[in-house]
């Protein structure tokens, strides 16, 4: 029976540490500030933004939410980003995704100054991360690395299989695991015989957004299993991509959904905002 990796508890612990760091920064005259721009009426986005705002307040990071109507033009959004880029009191800028149809996501993400791009989605930060240089790594993969460290799970030399290759989870996850010296295999919807790959893995990270993509027969005895997925089961309850009940009997460590990777994602966003403020004032 696996150890259940408690992302909620770790996130609380890290937030307590951040609170002290932010207090010290404030004493030195540095006030870390995040601005989140939310366009439109997507209910899930409103919940995510509220949670980010709440988490900033918990650790003392100044947080402002700019809410714009669904029909906002791309030009208007770009002008707002331009002003935030110029505003020296703003350390981090985050545009909540998805954006309404009339707005091109790529154009908007590229308009944010890389040094304020705390989501780590700007191509400059993607490039810096892949060459292992100082930038911002996306929050979800960074949160997973933090969890592996917390549970003293070795990464170097381990076979790591990642299911999913999105720009926000799968690909940056592969880059970070490679940077930590894992031997990385990236799987996706065109992968032939997924189980053949996952059965070789010491660490399996699942970010497919499909229930039961990873079942017990696909996992090696003692493997570490990280579940990024957020789905609803037949009863409407939140569940991951992993058949948790069966896989936990075979794995050595496993993350639950909810209470695993999710809470760590917001914590890493806070970490990136603190980093942005430190770098901004160092410059």
Binding residues among 226-245 for ligand NAP as defined by CB under 6 A: 228-231
Nearer to ligand NAP, 32 or 240 (CB): 240
Nearer to ligand NAP, 80 or 187 (CB): 187
Q: Supply the minimum distance, in Å, between the C-beta of residue 108 and ligand NAP.
A: 17
Is residue 265 a contact residue for ligand NAP (CB under 6 A)? yes
Question: Among 25-33, 51-59, 188-196, 247-255, which window interacts with ligand NAP (CB under 6 A)?
Answer: 188-196
DSSP code, position 115: G
Residue 45 buriedness (CB in 10 A; 0-12 / 13-18 / 19+):
middle
Q: Supply the minimum distance, in Å, between the C-beta of residue 278 and ligand NAP.
A: 24
Q: Supply the minimum distance, in Å, between the C-beta of residue 240 and ligand NAP.
A: 8
Strands 238-239 and 231-232 come out as antiparallel
Q: Supply the minimum distance, in Å, between the C-beta of residue 206 and ligand NAP.
A: 8
Q: Supply the minimum distance, in Å, between the C-beta of residue 2 and ligand NAP.
A: 19
Strands 224-227 and 253-254 come out as parallel
Is residue 11 a contact residue for ligand NAP (CB under 6 A)? no
Cβ–Cβ < 8 Å for 160, 184 = yes
CA 49 to mean position of chain CA atoms? 14
What is the longest distance spanned by two Cα atoms in the chain? 56
Catalytic residues: 52, 96, 119
Q: Supply the minimum distance, in Å, between the C-beta of residue 54 and ligand NAP.
A: 15
Is residue 272 a contact residue for ligand NAP (CB under 6 A)? no
Q: Which residues have a Cβ under 8 Å from the Cβ of 99 and sit 6 or more positions away?
A: 39, 40, 77, 105, 108
Count the Cβ atoms, other than its own, within 10 Å of residue 127. 12
Best CA proximity match to 67, nearest among 42, 21, 36, 31: 36
Beta bridge mates, 160? 184, 203
What binding mask, one character per residue, do residues 193-222 give for ligand NAP by CB under 6 A, x or -?
Answer: -x------------xxxx--x---------
CA distances from 18 to 50, 131, 225 (A): 19, 27, 27
Q: Which single residue is written with the structure tokens 């990777």?
A: 261
Phi, psi at 13, each rounded to 5°: -60, -45
Nearer to ligand NAP, 65 or 194 (CB): 194
Q: Which residues have a Cβ under 8 Å from the Cβ of 128 and sit 6 or more positions away?
A: 114, 134, 135
Question: Among 23-31, 54-62, 177-185, 258-266, which window interacts with ligand NAP (CB under 6 A)?
Answer: 258-266
Nearer to ligand NAP, 14 or 84 (CB): 14
Is residue 188 a contact residue for ligand NAP (CB under 6 A)? yes
Is residue 94 a contact residue for ligand NAP (CB under 6 A)? no
Near ligand NAP by CB under 6 A: residue from 152, 190, 192, 282: 190
Question: Among 85-93, 119-127, 214-222, 223-231, which window interacts with ligand NAP (CB under 6 A)?
Answer: 223-231
Best CA proximity match to 119, nearest among 138, 99, 144: 138
Binding residues among 120-179 for ligand NAP as defined by CB under 6 A: 140, 163-166, 168-170
Binding-site ranges for ligand NAP (CB under 6 A): 140, 163-166, 168-170, 187-191, 194, 207-210, 213, 228-231, 261-262, 265
């Amino acid at each position: 029976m696996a150890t259940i990796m408690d992302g909620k508890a770790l996130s609380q612990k890290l937030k307590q540490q951040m609170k002290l760091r932010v207090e010290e920064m404030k004493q030195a005259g540095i006030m870390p500030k995040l601005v989140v721009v939310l366009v439109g009426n997507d209910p899930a986005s409103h919940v995510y933004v509220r949670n980010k705002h709440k988490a900033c307040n918990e650790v003392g990071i100044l947080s402002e939410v700019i809410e714009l109507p669904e029909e906002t033009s791309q030009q208007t959004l770009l002008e707002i980003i331009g002003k935030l880029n110029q505003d020296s009191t703003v350390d981090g800028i985050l545009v909540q995704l998805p954006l309404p149809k009339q707005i091109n996501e790529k154009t908007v993400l590229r308009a944010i100054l890389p040094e304020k791009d705390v989501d780590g989605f700007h191509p400059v930060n993607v490039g810096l991360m892949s060459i292992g240089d100082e930038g911002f790594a996306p929050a979800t993969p960074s949160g997973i690395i933090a969890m592996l460290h917390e549970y003293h799970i070795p990464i170097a030399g381990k076979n790591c299989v990642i299911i999913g290759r999105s720009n926000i989870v799968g690909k940056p996850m592969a880059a970070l695991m490679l940077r930590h010296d894992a031997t990385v295999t990236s799987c996706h919807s065109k992968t032939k015989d997924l189980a053949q790959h996952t059965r070789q893995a010491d660490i399996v990270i699942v970010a497919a957004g499909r229930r039961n993509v990873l079942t017990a027969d696909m996992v090696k005895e003692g493997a570490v299993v990280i579940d990024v997925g957020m789905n609803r089961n037949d009863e409407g309850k939140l569940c991951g991509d992993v058949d948790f009940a069966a896989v936990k009997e075979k794995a050595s460590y496993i993350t639950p959904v909810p209470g695993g990777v999710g809470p760590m994602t917001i914590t890493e966003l806070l970490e990136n905002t603190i980093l942005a403020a430190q770098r901004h004032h160092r410059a």
